[in-house]
Amino acid sequence: MALLTLSNIHKTFEKGTVNENHVLCGLNLEIEQGDFISVIGGNGAGKSTLMNSIAGVLKIDEGDIILEGQSIKNFSVDVRSKDISRVFQDPRMGTATNLSIEENMAIAYRRGKKRSIFKKSITESERQIFKESLTELGLGLEGRMKTDANFLSGGQRQALTLAMATLVRPKILLLDEHTAALDPKTSDMVMGLTKKVVEEQKLTTLMITHNMEHAIEYGNRLVMLYHGKIVVDVKGEEKRNLTVAQLMDLFHKNSGQVLNDDALVLG
Ligand SMILES: Nc1ncnc2c1ncn2[C@@H]1O[C@H](COP(=O)(O)OP(=O)(O)OP(=O)(O)O)[C@@H](O)[C@H]1O
Ligand SMILES: [Mg+2]
């Protein structure tokens, strides 16, 4: 059984108006435990809408989302957040800027636990857990636990957000262009950390990226969205040997369209 099954998902925005926009059009995807999937597609293809649908930020119009055999499509964002973690493009989104690094970590650590726990101050054993997680990042943040997240650079913040998203092992990790706002060197650093944590925790991961090199280099599987459906799905050996030229070819074969404009994929 797949870990997460997306079955015949439809999502239309502004239904019944002149701006009606059918963004997800019968999308099907079976995600296996341990899959690390790069998700690519042009601007407006529906990649973020797909992630928002999985996380519960958006309600789908039709179809089902099944996690470990149970439909979660009617579950709130809060309930789903116990199993599904996210890292966004904007470094300011993942952390509370007026809280310290350790306070941010505490919120992440207590996610999904009993309400009363929120009132408690941070214990020494919790602090130790946070310290270990931060040390793994190799950025020296473990020595700055009382510093406000506000004072961190974009790359440090994305690294912290990644540590928070995986502090309690999620069943699904969703990354929506989480390195796109960073300079190339910092982006590679955060990708390196991503690979490390995904491998160490054997996380099932969906990663949206416009960086074709990253899409090809990372993960065991790559899917391409086009007009609200998945038109390319490569994995294993085929994914390992994939070139951009082959990707264009696969797109052509499966969609009947010629991808003559790199921008469609590269954004
Ligand atoms: N909450 C919303 N309300 C109305 N329209 C929306 C909403 N969210 C997304 N859309 C529209 O749905 C379409 C798909 O958007 P989405 O953000 O999923 O694209 P994307 O593939 O993530 O693109 P990008 O690569 O630019 O991030 C776009 O036309 C967008 O304007
Ligand atoms: Mg997007």
Closest CA relative to residue 166, chosen from 136, 208, 121: 136
Please list all protein residues whose beta carbon sits less than 5 angstroms from ligand 2, which is an ion. 47-48
Q: Please check the confidence at residue 261 and state whether its pLDDT lies above 70.
A: no
Within 10 A of 204 (CB to CB), how many other CB atoms are there? 21
Atom from ligand 1 closest to the CA of residue 46: 18
- Mean pLDDT computed over 190-201: 96
Is 91's C-beta closer than 6 angstroms to any atom of ligand 1? no
Domain coverage including residue 181: 4-266
Residue 262 has pLDDT above 60, yes or no: no
Number of domains in the chain: 1
pLDDT at 238 over 50: yes
Cβ atoms 64, 8 nearer than 8 A: yes
**Residue 22, both tokens:** 């059918």
Q: Is the CB of 56 under 6 A from ligand 1?
A: no
**CATH number of the CATH domain containing 255:** 3.40.50.300
23 C-beta closer than 6 A to ligand 1: yes
The per-residue pLDDT for range 74-129, each reduced to its tens digit, is 999 999 999 999 999 998 888 998 999 999 999 999 886 765 555 678 999 999 99
Give 1's pLDDT tier (boundaries 50, 70, 90). Answer: confident
Ligand 1 contact via 267 beta carbon (within 6 Å):
yes
**Ligand 1 atom 9: the closest Cα is on which residue?**
49
DSSP letter at 221? E
